[in-house]
Every structure is written in structure tokens, then in C-alpha cells.
Amino acid sequence: MKWMLVLCVTLTGLSAVRAQTPSENSLDPKVIGKTPIDSWTTFNGDYTGQRYSTLTEISPANVDKIAAQWTFKIDSVGAQRGAPEPVIKCTPLLVNGVLYITIPDHVWALDASSGKELWHYDWVDHGGHLIGQRGVGMWKTTVYFLTPDNWLIALNATTGKELWRKNFADARKQYFSTAAPVVIKNHVIVGVGGDAMDMPGFLNSFDPETGALQWTWWSTPRAGDPALKTWPNAATSEHGGGMTWMPGTYDADLNLLYWPTGIQIRCSRGRAGRELTCGRNR
């Protein structure tokens, strides 16, 4: 099987991508989460989750002039464990003229003006689910990437060299990771998926320089949490679900983090209208 993905930039004569590829790519932590102007520094563009760009050069008056400028084909990765052909589910980051894109187990850095590959990082997972990967986070000169089998990987943003790795969930318990890390101040915050087995969901915060665990927040109450009294017993909270697989938002004025949790269940009846089949979707 040959895997092929296509990423197109559609700009003609517009200056949305101005910066040249730097010798060392670096992102000032003070601009992370700010309203996008000439960069896209986090999954949602800023911390609000609105995914809104302030650029005005593309308008109803000139939208008919948009045309593909380059195409980047991902055809260098082979089929893994019988996985289906992958699709790009990430939101690319754009920092100083460099695009960072992902699929499960892979990260690429591309020159945004030409589509030239600058580097490619390849991870071999052991037990993760290859259902999608939503992108990376960035802080200073480091890019952060989640693998399907729950490793947080820190990469040099300029070279793609691995700096450190941290395993934060057990893939043998059917936890898996698809999210884009959210970087807030000196915290790299990651969520986890795994609703199929009804394990408790959680968030972890890591030090961006060392990878040391800073804190863990559980979406179902643990021992010592006063909220545990609202559950029948401690054992039930071990099967509470509440996965944190989509990136959250952040209110800088209130210093509050907002994070969606949960699962989605779809049910359908058979032709006779008697059999009800339910499944969980991500």
C-alpha cells in the first residue's frame, strides 16, 4: 500500500506568508495564543478557540484569483499494522515561515513559501490507535508531538532532532493519543483518548524544558477528592470515561483553562427495526 497525502497552499500574489525560513526557528512564549496575524502558533490559532484570522488580503473581491502554488505529497511512509490510508487531521502551525504538519507517528517541517521538506520525524508506536493526529505545540525552539501510544516527544524545531520523550499513559489499557498539545506559559498540557474501555480521562502538564510532570487533573474524581462522594463508590470512578482528546481553550485574564471531555455515541436500528447497534465515535 502506498500512502499519499496532499497539502496545498493556495496563495497567488498575496503576502500571507512573508517570512523566510530562519537558520534557527524560535517562538517567543509571549506571543503564543495571541490573535493570529502572520503566524498560527497553536491548534486554534489563539487561546479563544475561535480559529479566526485577522488577515484581510483575501476578500470576496479577489477570491477568484486563488490558485495552488505548491503541493507536498506524503508518499514516503509505509502501511503500519494494516492501518488504513491516513488522512491529515492536523491543524498546521505556522511559525517564521515554517509549517509543521502531522499524521499518526510522523511530523514534518515544511518551508511555507515553497513546500520544501525541511525535516521529517518518524516514530514507531507500540499499541496506539492510528485514527488521527491533530498537530503539534511549540515553545521557544521546541516542537511537542503526541504519539498514538501516549508518548510526549520534544523535537528541535529547526532540525527535528529528538530532545526527550515522556510516556504519560498505558497503551495496554487502551489509552491512546491524537491531540495537539496546548502550550500555556511554562506548561505543555496534553490530553488523552480511550473511551472504548471507560477508563478515567485526565490532563497532564509537563515542563517544556525538561519534560518533568507538573500536575495531573482527572476528569472523574479520585481518592481524596471531595467530589468522589457524588459517585456510588470509588470503583465506579475508575470507569468514568470523560476523555480529554480535543485541545482546550484558555482565558488569560482569568487564568482559567477550559477543556471539553466525553464521548459521542451513535445508535442505528437494523432493517427489521428491532436490533439496536451502538458505537462510539471520536
pLDDT by residue (tens digit) across 147-186?
999 999 999 999 999 999 999 999 998 899 999 999 999 9
Q: Average pLDDT, stretch 255-272? A: 69
Residue 203 predicted with pLDDT over 80:
yes
Higher pLDDT, 231 or 165: 165
Which pTM does this prediction carry?
0.85
pLDDT of residue 195: 65
Q: What percent of the chain has pLDDT over 70?
A: 80
Measured in whole angstroms, the distance separating CA 104 from the mean position of its chain's CA atoms is: 10
